[in-house]
Structure 1
Amino acid sequence: MSIDTPVTTLNAAFDDYPHTLPLKRGEVESSRIAFTFSDIKPANRFFKPMVRELKFDVSEMAIATFVQAKAYGKPLVLIPATVMGRFQHGAILCNAARPLAPAELAGKRVGVRAYSQTTAVWVRGILENDYGVDLGKVRWVTFEDGHVAEYREPDGVERASGDKNLLKMLRDGELDAAIYGADLPKDPALTSLIPDPDNAARTWYARHKVVPINHMVVVTKKLARSDPQAVTEIYRLLRRAKAAAGLPKPGEIDFLPFGLNACRGALQTIINYALQQRLIPRKLDVEELFDDTTRSLES
């Protein structure tokens, strides 16, 4: 006589991507767990409630936010499943009428939604470590707080007034450059600050062998401790959803790495960048981002 295992329903928050929609639409299912998905959009709007309130059992999260959350002792556990990754060299724009090079950034005003935004962490890290930019000589302008309440921006970071807009300030010359995430504008009046960003990014990738990860998946420590099998099942379903989306396509770089070994290089790099940029109070080990269950998950 068999005893059916009860289905555990989890509160979840994921944005709509080709590789998450099979899960959200129920095309990829489990007899072990089910999900109630949040309708909050875009993704960056549910990172703060997850970090500050543990609002969901499982959610997508910007990796810089998670690294900060871990450094400040938040009860969250990383799953080695990437839901957003991309090259970052083209994410910093300047006015095409007033072009800039990385070497000219000293004393210039550079806008970004939040200082701790993951794309900004990647871009600043690339500028500092690959182009020799002294980040302390750049005048950073932000528009909102980060997701981790305990974090304070470095001295000298300026907050734009509430009526200001990143794109308008860049167009009007109030900013010399701006860093964008997924909302990168398609505007012929703007150009990449890093010359030939696509080739620059591929050269960077060939040298570092790292995919710049933006968003991964986290669960609450409560869930990880009380039901590690559910956490393993989340990972399995995310892998199946990625496969259902046909990703990665043959011959293409896998921007959605799964498993600790595949993600280790990117995680170590973002930790190093976060420490350089004073986003975290101490250096983290990659392994401490995970628990015993999630650390062992591989692709």
Structure 2
Amino acid sequence: MARLHLTFACGDYDRTRALEEGTVRPDGIDLTYLRLPVEETFFRMMRHQEFEVAEMSLSSYVVSLRADPSPFVALPVFTSRMFRHGSLYCNTAAGISSPEDLRGKVVGTPEYQLTACVWMRGILGDQYGVPFDSVSHVTGGQESTGRIEKATVDLPDSVRISRAPEGRTLSAMLADGEIDALCTPRIPGPFAARDPRVRRVFPDVVASEKEYYAATGIFPIMHVVVVRRDVYDRHPWAAQSLYKALLRAKDEAYANLYDTSALRFMLPWLTPQLEEARTLLGDDYWSYGLKDNHKTLATFLRYHHEQGLSERLWTPEELFAPESTEAAVI
């Protein structure tokens, strides 16, 4: 029987490299792996559904569930996870000495529905008394002008939101004090250039993120893997094949990361940092599947709904192909 040929658009990750290189192959499937920047993958998949399988923003995927039928089916594979306290920047003259000072401020974000920003708005509300509707939001391009929401969002009136002025980028507005703060997955240009007008809101990011994990047990999920609905409907077995292969690829990356014969990445203390992560977060700190990630997913879905991005509160069980969350018991 001929193997199923699928195109998989995804970032450049150690946890998916075995699929790109072909050392791990999904049962019955040949993959064409397209290594693309996440913004390009998300935009092309959300707007044009160009790929059969793709990495996708968790927030964008949940937004897509508004359609009936929804255009994608997700697998509980989390290609990106990241604590996002370090994604919050401020102008040094904005009078922000602690996260609590963000109340009443003007905060930029490239897109309101970005997963990283959904997480940080939720964390600010839960942990620091800064509800999402206590700030004014400005959207637009971070380093170049013209960025738009990749997914249509219909927000409640309680969300005060506006577009950046024509010809202005969020990075420039932050440095010039036209916005007080910026929540963004990517490091803004002025901060990377060590502009003294811009700093992080959390001065000790690592300490803040460790405190957050100790208090909540949550390692935020950023991205999932989705299968286009028409592909899933024709080949439902592919969900389990892809899930198992992605799981094997991740386990291979774990093993390679702990190989001390030579450093795979240019981090001098990579090994002790890995050992510390395992001590703090557990051996399978980058877990896939529904069981170990139920609380994290439920928390995100609550934030998504509270912030006006979901018409109803979804449950984690509703997000994923059942073939990828259930397995035969031997």
| TM-score with structure 2 setting the length | 0.81
**SS at the partner of 1:210?**
coil
Cα distance, 1:256 vs structure 2: 2.8
1:178 is matched with which residue: 182, 204, 211?
Answer: 182
- Any idea what the Cα deviations from partners look like across 1:102-152, whole Å, max 9, x if unmatched? 222233111110000111000100011111113223111001332323x23
Matched residue, 1:270: 300
Matched residue, 1:223: 231
CA distance in 2, matches of 1:126, 1:194: 13
Matched residue, 2:317: 287
- Any idea what the Cα deviations from partners look like across 1:142-181, whole Å, max 9, x if unmatched? 01332323x2344420101342112111111111110120
Cα distance, 1:297 vs structure 2: 5.6
Matched residue, 2:15: 19
Cα distance, 1:97 vs structure 2: 4.9
CA distance in 2, matches of 1:82, 1:267: 11
Asked whether the equivalents of residues 91 and 174 of structure 2 are also in contact (C-alpha less than 8 Å), the reply is: yes
What is the number of residues matched between the two proteins?
292
Matched residue, 2:46: 51
Cα distance, 1:21 vs structure 2: 2.2
Matched residue, 2:150: 147
CA distance in 1, matches of 2:135, 2:206: 24
CA distance in 2, matches of 1:110, 1:161: 14
2:5 pairs with 1:9: yes
Asked whether the equivalents of residues 154 and 308 of structure 2 are also in contact (C-alpha less than 8 Å), the reply is: no
2:210 is matched with which residue: 202, 217, 240?
Answer: 202
CA distance in 2, matches of 1:277, 1:97: 28
Asked whether the equivalents of residues 27 and 241 of structure 2 are also in contact (C-alpha less than 8 Å), the reply is: no
2:63 is matched with which residue: 68, 83, 102?
Answer: 68
Q: CA RMSD in A?
A: 2.2
CA distance in 1, matches of 2:48, 2:85: 33
Give 2:49's aligned amino acid: L
1:137 is matched with which residue: 134, 138, 141?
Answer: 134
Give 1:64's aligned amino acid: S
**SS at the partner of 2:192?**
coil
| Structure 2 unaligned blocks of 5 or more | 141-146, 258-273
Give 2:37's aligned amino acid: P
**SS at the partner of 2:90?**
strand
CA distance in 2, matches of 1:297, 1:154: 40
2:123 pairs with 1:123: no
| TM-score with structure 1 setting the length | 0.89
Select the structure with the greater relative contact order (CA < 8 A; seq sep ≥ 6). Answer: 1
* Deviates most, 77-86 or 63-72: 63-72
**SS at the partner of 1:115?**
coil
Asked whether the equivalents of residues 139 and 157 of structure 1 are also in contact (C-alpha less than 8 Å), the reply is: yes
**SS at the partner of 1:38?**
strand
Cα distance, 1:87 vs structure 2: 0.7
Return structure 1 stretches of 4+ with deviation > 3 angstroms.
96-99, 182-188, 247-251
Give 2:3's aligned amino acid: V
CA distance in 1, matches of 2:327, 2:104: 45
Distance 1:42 1:153, change over 3 A: farther
Cα distance, 1:89 vs structure 2: 1.2
Cα distance, 1:96 vs structure 2: 3.6
Give 1:89's aligned amino acid: H
CA distance in 2, matches of 1:183, 1:192: 10
Matched residue, 2:271: none
Distance 1:142 1:88, change over 3 A: same
Cα distance, 1:276 vs structure 2: 1.0
Asked whether the equivalents of residues 90 and 199 of structure 2 are also in contact (C-alpha less than 8 Å), the reply is: yes
CA distance in 2, matches of 1:58, 1:193: 37
Cα distance, 1:56 vs structure 2: 1.4
Distance 1:175 1:17, change over 3 A: same
Identical amino acids, percent of aligned pairs: 31
Asked whether the equivalents of residues 239 and 321 of structure 2 are also in contact (C-alpha less than 8 Å), the reply is: no
2:161 pairs with 1:157: yes
CA distance in 1, matches of 2:56, 2:235: 21
Cα distance, 1:59 vs structure 2: 0.7
Asked whether the equivalents of residues 85 and 255 of structure 1 are also in contact (C-alpha less than 8 Å), the reply is: no
Cα distance, 1:239 vs structure 2: 1.5
- Any idea what the Cα deviations from partners look like across 1:218-239, whole Å, max 9, x if unmatched? 1123222322322212112212
